[in-house]
Amino acid sequence: METRELRYFVAVAEELHFGRAAERLGIAQPPLSRAIQRLERRLGVTLLERTNRSVALTGAGRVLLREGRAALDAVSAADRRTRRAACAEPGLVLVTKAGASAELLPKLLDAYAAEPGAVPVEVLLCGPGEQERLLRDGRADVALLHRPFDSTSGLDTEDLRTEGQVVVLPAGHPLTTEPHLRVADVSALPGLPLPRWPEPDGTYLDGPGAEVRDHVQLLQLVALGRAAAVLPESVRTHLHEGLTAVPLLDAPTVTTVIAWPPHSRSRPLATLIRTATAL
């Protein structure tokens, strides 16, 4: 099975439409049809159920979509990491959620920079759920993730720290006088809905809260009195005025972990991991 065939199949399986898939791939529709037919013939498996008006995945097609994406990520990773390895400049790419670990990250970068043999670290900020992808397809070497929000499935990890969560409210809100609160107290505050985070595919479920993409956006909305936020304790150290945090007694604890793809412990990466765990 060639990667081109996989790319083609994934495009069709995602679009469920040969014409649009061909356009996305930058080729014409007939070669795409042929390629899929040949793929099915060689696998001896029907991947797509075509009626003249629609395309649907079979069970085997769903399996190939999932596995094919993973395989394509692995191929991309091989490509990118090889190019980077040749670039003479052997920096690391660290990815984390925008606005998260605002306290831990500078410490880690400073401590690592002081290590012997440290290499430049490029920091990539992205929305929730994108980090795993960046690690898997080779655009990043290491990530700071937050259990249980981020999945660490298929990654090697080391725990860095565990903390409780707080609710962040606009300063002056009545509840800010309480010494602590419970999740039930804040899950449906009148006028201060909890925000909605994007699903893995980038879309938002329907609901009352505002659509947010990162912590910075979210805290801005809270300051404007349009939302409440439940976040790890460490945001307290970076709350500007207009925001108040109140501990939540029964919210799940959050563990910050450093994560990296298996089988890719280069020397600089190992040093970074050691620095992080020793922090």
| Binding positions for DNA, rule: CB under 7 A | 2, 4-5, 17-19, 26-31, 33-38, 50-55
For residues 71 and 105, which CB has a smaller minimum distance to a copy of itself in the complex?
A: 71
Of 61-69, 94-102, 114-122, 202-210, which part binds a copy of itself (CB under 8 A)?
A: 61-69
- Taking the complex as a whole, how short is the minimal distance between the CB of residue 201 and a copy of itself, in angstroms? 15
Instruction: Tell me how long the chain is.
Output: 279
Burial label, 199 (beta-carbon count in 10 A; 0-12, 13-18, 19+): exposed
Q: What is the DSSP string of 154-219?
A: TSEEEEEEEE-EEEEEETT-GGGGSS-B-HHHHTTBTTBPPPBPPPTTS-----SSPB-SSHHHHH
Beta carbons within 8 Å of 26's beta carbon, 6+ residues apart: none
User: CB under 8 A: which stretch of 73-81, 107-115, 172-180, 211-219 binds a copy of itself?
Assistant: 73-81
C-alpha closest to that of 153 among 248, 53, 262 = 262
Which region, judged by CB under 8 A, interacts with a copy of itself, from 123-131, 161-169, 197-205, 262-270? Answer: 262-270
What counts of helices (H) and strands (E) characterise the chain?
Answer: 9, 10
- Which of 63, 171, 205, 279 touches a copy of itself (CB under 8 A)? 63
Enter the tokens of residue 55: 């395309």
243-247 and 254-260 as β-strands: parallel, antiparallel, unpaired? unpaired
Q: Are 165 and 230 in contact (CB under 8 A)?
A: yes
Could you give the string, one character per residue 87-126, with x where binding to a copy of itself holds by CB under 8 A and - elsewhere? ----------------------------------------
Q: How far is the CB of 135 from a copy of itself (least distance, A)?
A: 11
Q: Which is nearer to a copy of itself, 3 or 29 (CB)?
A: 3
Q: Binding to a copy of itself by residue 240, rule CB under 8 A?
A: no
To a copy of itself, the closest distance from the beta carbon of 68 in angstroms equals 5
Please identify, among the stretches 15-23, 139-147, 238-246, 256-264, the one whose residues bind a copy of itself according to the rule CB under 8 A: 256-264
- Asked if 250 interacts with a copy of itself (CB under 8 A), we say no
Q: What DSSP assignment string belongs to 214-251? A: SHHHHHHHHHTTS--EEEEGGGGGGPPTTEEEEEBSSS
Interacting residue ranges for a copy of itself, rule: CB under 8 A: 1-4, 6, 43-47, 58-60, 62-64, 66-68, 70-71, 73-75, 77-79, 81-83, 85-86, 138, 153-156, 261-264
